[in-house]
Amino acid sequence: MIYDKVIVRYGDLVMKGRNRNQFEKRMQQQIKRALKSFAALTYAKSFGRMTISLNGESFEPIAERLKDVFGIISFSPVIQAENELENIQAAALQVMKGLEKEPATFKVNAKRAWKPFAHSSQEMNHLVGSHVLRAFADLKVDVRKPEVELRVDTYEEGTFVYNTVIPGAGGFPFGSNGKAMLLLSGGIDSPVAGWMAMRKGLELEAVHFHSYPFTSDQAKEKVIDLARRLSYYAGAPLKLHLVPFTDIQTRLVQAKQDSMMITLMRRAMLRITEQLAVRSGAGGIVTGESLGQVASQTLSSMNVIGRATVLPLLKPLIMMDKQEIINEAVRIGTFETSILPYEDCCTLFLPKSPTTNPNLNVVERAESYISELEQMLLEAVERTEVMELTPEAQPEEEPAGEDRWF
């Protein structure tokens, strides 16, 4: 490996009009957190980017990790040269000689971001290009479609010479846009919605409704696994609220409003989530809904369900097709877990013909007949268990303390 540093780019456009300092600080913190297992790395920050010295660590596993950090636009393994022509020329040769396969064509793309440097970008293209050409007999310049684009970026702290730009996940650094509650089922959609919300800089706490003992321990394990995966992307532990929903569901079934059952359940879920959100200081609720996918996801259903809360409902997947969502689930590594065949609390109580067009007045009236509903929602909130999850399952703890059923 000829490269000794990695330059990580973030910021510029997206940072305009925002609190730039805070944004940068968060970004640096997230990068360091993501790479904390690589002990030898050292970090230097500059405006809108960070330079990481590898100090002997290998680049590939670091690249794998960096690809998943939100807010990063792109990154490159580089050689950093002092701002002297000979040093830069030498670094250029090193990069070219380090290529896996000798290319037939190349071009130099120099950028002088530090104006006091003696040579303009045009001059550098020429000075570095001709130096490389002298060293490779068969190499030609192709400015339109070169096999290799040799980049030479001159900043105040030095000149970075490299030929690869790896795209980052984009978005905003985790937590830079506030906090929301994620309604996390065991399905395919909601983990993807969570990933997209986090990419936009939202910190998340997950909320899962279970109908133990009608739903199994495996169903719960599945949600825990999904939450662990999301915590990997968060780069921080993720809270999972496990809400006991059996009593409420059983009571709603007794209302004998079969076709409105899903509507009533979803509204109850939102009310509970809103209370949890207030306690957690979250300002919104994220769901995995996608327009038209099921009866509860028609415009009319979403209208009646959404009125159960005043918090903004964020639905990142709303306009996506199922196949697009599946592709994302595969890419972020939640698909395999999501398709495990364990029952969800709602499918258990699913009516034969759910309405696609509920009437708000009728729904509100049905709820008003259940005088103990408010109290039951409160109790569910009180009995909610919270787990704090990290990407890896912790080693078994000594069997001490309370008995927990998960």
Site map 147..186 versus ligand ATP, x via CB under 6 A: ------------------------------------xxx-
For 58, the token pair is 């290998």
Site map 180..199 versus ligand ATP, x via CB under 6 A: ---xxx-xxxx---------
Shortest spacing between CB 314 and Mg ion, in angstroms: 17
Residue 55 has phi, psi (to 5 degrees) of 45, 45
Query: Parallel, antiparallel, or unpaired: how do β-strands 42-46 and 148-155 relate?
Result: unpaired
Q: Which is nearer to ligand ATP, 89 or 296 (CB)?
A: 296
Q: 3-state DSSP call for residue 226?
A: helix
Q: Which is nearer to Mg ion, 114 or 212 (CB)?
A: 212
209 lines the binding site for ligand ATP (CB under 6 A): yes
CA atoms lying within 13 Å on the CB side of residue 22: 11
248 lines the binding site for ligand ATP (CB under 6 A): no
Residue in 71, 171, 173, 187 binding Mg ion, rule: CB under 5 A? 187
How many CB atoms within 10 Å of residue 49?
22
C-alpha 10/C-alpha 8 separation (Å) is 7
With CB under 5 to 8 Å by kind, the binding choice for 57 among Mg ion, ligand ATP, none is none
Shortest spacing between CB 255 and Mg ion, in angstroms: 22
Residue in 185, 257, 273, 355 binding Mg ion, rule: CB under 5 A? 185
What is the secondary structure of 121-149 as a DSSP string? HHHHHHHHHHHHHHH-TT-EE-SSS-SEE
With CB under 5 to 8 Å by kind, the binding choice for 226 among Mg ion, ligand ATP, none is none
Shortest spacing between CB 194 and ligand ATP, in angstroms: 9
C-alpha 206/C-alpha 240 separation (Å) is 5
Shortest spacing between CB 322 and Mg ion, in angstroms: 12
297 annotated as belonging to a binding site for a ligand: yes
Which run of H or of E encompasses 75?
strand 72-81
365 annotated as belonging to a binding site for a ligand: no
Residue in 346, 376, 381, 387 binding ligand ATP, rule: CB under 6 A? 346
Residue 89 near residue 147 (C-beta atoms within 8 A): no
345 lines the binding site for ligand ATP (CB under 6 A): yes
> Could you tell me the sign of the dihedral formed by the alpha carbons of 29, 203, 62, 36, in that order?
positive
Amino acid of residue 57: E
Residue 403 near residue 239 (C-beta atoms within 8 A): no
Q: 3-state DSSP call for residue 204?
A: strand
CA 369 vs. chain centroid, Å, equals 42
C-alpha 104/C-alpha 139 separation (Å) is 5
With CB under 5 to 8 Å by kind, the binding choice for 295 among Mg ion, ligand ATP, none is none
With CB under 5 to 8 Å by kind, the binding choice for 73 among ligand ATP, Mg ion, none is none
C-alpha 41/C-alpha 39 separation (Å) is 6
CA separation, residue 36 to residues 32, 68, 75, 201, 266 (Å): 6, 14, 18, 21, 40
Shortest spacing between CB 321 and ligand ATP, in angstroms: 12
For 336, the token pair is 């395999």
Site map 147..176 versus Mg ion, x via CB under 5 A: ------------------------------
358 lines the binding site for Mg ion (CB under 5 A): no
Span near ligand ATP by CB under 6 A; candidates 5-13, 73-81, 228-236, 338-346 = 338-346
184 annotated as belonging to a binding site for a ligand: yes
139 annotated as belonging to a binding site for a ligand: no
Q: Which single residue is written with the structure tokens 């067009």? A: 357
144 annotated as belonging to a binding site for a ligand: no
Residue 311 near residue 277 (C-beta atoms within 8 A): yes
Residue in 80, 83, 177, 287 binding ligand ATP, rule: CB under 6 A? 287
136 annotated as belonging to a binding site for a ligand: no
Number of residues that bind ligand ATP (CB under 6 A): 19
Shortest spacing between CB 289 and ligand ATP, in angstroms: 5
Shortest spacing between CB 36 and ligand ATP, in angstroms: 31
C-alpha 268/C-alpha 273 separation (Å) is 9
313 annotated as belonging to a binding site for a ligand: no
Applying CB under 5 A, the residues found at the interface with Mg ion are: 185, 187
Residues making up the annotated binding site for ATP are: 183-184, 208-209, 266, 288, 297
Applying CB under 6 A, the residues found at the interface with ligand ATP are: 183-185, 187-190, 207-209, 287-289, 293-294, 296, 344-346
